[in-house]
Structure 1
Amino acid sequence: MTAYQNDTTSAEVSGFLLNCFVRYPSWQLWLSLPLSFLFLLAMGANAILLTTIWLEASLHEPMYYLLSLLSLLDIVICLTVIPKVIAIFWFDLRSISFSACFIQMFIMNCFLAMESCTFMIMAFDRYIAICHPLRYPSIITEQFVVRATMFILARNVFITLPIPILSSRLHYCGRNIIENCICANMYVSRLSCDDVTLNRLYQFAGGWTLLGSDLILIFLSYTLILRAVLRLKAEGAVAKALSTCGSHFILILFFSTILLVFVLTHVAKRKVSPDVPVLLNVLHHVIPAALNPIVYGVRTQEIKQGIKRLLKKGW
């Protein structure tokens, strides 16, 4: 018996099949085009942003180091998910090995949580810049960025690592078709013959502990920023203060909104097509990655000037 059969026997499986929009074959062609475009855009835009920050000495500041970290996370998330989805659409390469599936599961959970944590650190950076500008150089230093990066890495690896470990230790027998384009934890765990209550509880508790705490702290930071901005009396001070964190706020709002929509559609799955949460899940791994460097590049004058200088040197 092969590893890719879908029956109810007790045979062990050594791999899975990703059932990616097979009910709507026409979706695969039409989705592959914008998805490929978004993937190339995300890779190119983040690569340009990283190169600009690396080569431009004027951008060697803590805020831009955090932005570089965000770009690195976006690149890894995209490379982990999107090439496999495109390979399914174009070549019907739906099979994925047992180990590759759980590695993908870990990277998706860990790096999305790291991205949320990075947004939280960046919100703190903007809070200090606006509410305590005189203390900013002494608080937000290169050492602060190093410690923040270590915290982001340690916290999220420690909390998310049990998710793929718990799933990989389950007993998979017979069923091996994942009703998703990616190895999402609960889509994989539900194929198991074992009780997955612990997986569900840990996924819920871990997810809301990480993302929930980050969103609360981000909301608190921007509440304090807004209160401080409204107290400014100098002409044009409000607009200048808001412009320094406008792009950051836009990206956080988009990241949170698409995640919230995904959660709500997943909860209301009986009222919507089961493919809608799958589509939102895939898009959540590429759209923010494509938008992050573009929004910062357009709204941040220093980055625009840095890109222009690099282009002039290239010519």
Structure 2
Amino acid sequence: MLPFNTTNVKPSTFILIGIPNLEAFHSWISVPFCSMYIVTLVGNWTILAIIKSEQSLHSPMYYFLCILAFIDLFLSSSITLKMLSIFWFNSREITFEACLMQMFFVHTFSAMESGVLLAMAFDRYIAICDPLRYVSVLTNPVIVKMGLVIAIRGTLVVIPCPVLAKRLSYCRTNVISHSYCDHMAVVKLSCTDTSINSAYGLTAALSVIVLDIFFITVSYVMILRAVLGLPSKAARHKAFSTCSAHICVILLFYSPGIYSGFSYRYGHIVAPQVHILFSNLYLLLPPTLNPIVYGIKTKQIRVKVLNIFSQKKDYV
């Protein structure tokens, strides 16, 4: 590790530890993370290619799925590439500016993903509770506007985090006990008052995650009421099946995220390596599993994937 000059208020570089206390096992830990990244790339690009080529999938639900796939690709790449360079090449240095940039992208894409999940919940609400207006409400211009709002909200909410972090003085150490430049992991290195940073970070997380979870819950309560009011069991089953993939993706995204948030506030009761592993899995598991979930749960995508594999088998 590089020594830190205590006379500097801004370090030229930070040192990312990787997984604390497990440095000797980094080469082994890299195997599942590299495998997850490969699955993420193949799965999400496959989803995008199938939706683009299949005219029957050119509908609001699948447009939102395309947005989710793009976000997952960028989110996973913004973390995994640097992490693997640490695990494989011991390349732990990251410049101060690059660290702030990674911080911005990681948290912005996370906020955007939450926004897309909310938009998809609204899509399911309209499709089930007001199906006659589905096409007229979720037009292509409306979907584009929703995508822009999701991107702008994520950017505006997150951008104060690196801006405030850049104003801090860092005179303790430049060693970050993490595998990427997480906001709170960087802020904790400062020797000045960080109460504004901590308060804003918590406020931003609550304003995005809590509000999105609230509106998603409201949407599904109304969906449940509508589904239970359907006359036949077959109709209820069909309605529930259209929501199953989205519900799985919601649980994959928010459950580990809530744990990760609490472990930062009460980190003294969680071993550092456990906390860092969960922080990484919270961000990397959804991009890996989302295309698999939609591939299994969505008939149109499942059939298309099976057709691709059967064609390859015939050529062999």
**Shorter-chain TM-score tier:** over 0.9
C-alpha contact 1:42 1:290 (8 A) present in aligned 2: yes
SS at match of 2:267: coil
Structure-1 residue corresponding to 2:23? 25
Opposite residue 113 of structure 2, the aligned amino acid is E
Structure-1 residue corresponding to 2:223? 225
Question: In 2, distance between residues paired with 1:10 and 1:148?
Answer: 44
Question: Which of the residues 268, 271, 292 maps onto 2:269?
Answer: 271
- State the Cα distance separating 1:305 from its structure 2 match: 2.6
Question: In 1, distance between residues paired with 2:224 and 2:117?
Answer: 17
In structure 2, do the counterparts of structure 1 residues 5 and 26 end up closer, same or farther at CA, with 3 Å as the change threshold?
A: closer
Map 1:267-306 onto structure 2 (within 5 A).
267-306=265-304
Map 1:126-275 onto structure 2 (within 5 A).
126-173=124-171, 175-275=173-273
SS at match of 1:39: helix
1:106-154: CA deviation from partner (whole Å, max 9, x where unpaired): 0011110000000000000001101111111111121121011011011
C-alpha contact 2:121 2:220 (8 A) present in aligned 1: yes
Count matched residues. 313
Question: In 1, distance between residues paired with 2:177 and 2:264?
Answer: 13
C-alpha contact 2:83 2:180 (8 A) present in aligned 1: yes
Structure-1 residue corresponding to 2:88? 90
Q: Please identify, of 209-218 and 305-314, the stretch whose mean Cα deviation from structure 2 is larger.
A: 305-314
Map 1:36-47 onto structure 2 (within 5 A).
36-47=34-45
SS at match of 1:134: helix
- State the Cα distance separating 1:191 from its structure 2 match: 1.4
Query: How high is the TM-score relative to the length of structure 1?
Result: 0.94
SS at match of 1:284: helix
SS at match of 1:270: helix
Question: In 2, distance between residues paired with 1:22 and 1:66?
Answer: 37
Question: Which of the residues 49, 52, 61 maps onto 2:50?
Answer: 52
SS at match of 2:233: coil
Structure 2: where are the runs of 5+ without partners? none
The question of 1:77 aligning with 2:75 is answered yes
1:74-114: CA deviation from partner (whole Å, max 9, x where unpaired): 00001100111111111111100111101100001111000
In structure 2, do the counterparts of structure 1 residues 266 and 172 end up closer, same or farther at CA, with 3 Å as the change threshold?
A: closer
Opposite residue 197 of structure 2, the aligned amino acid is N
SS at match of 2:14: strand
Q: Please identify, of 130-139 and 118-127, the stretch whose mean Cα deviation from structure 2 is larger.
A: 130-139
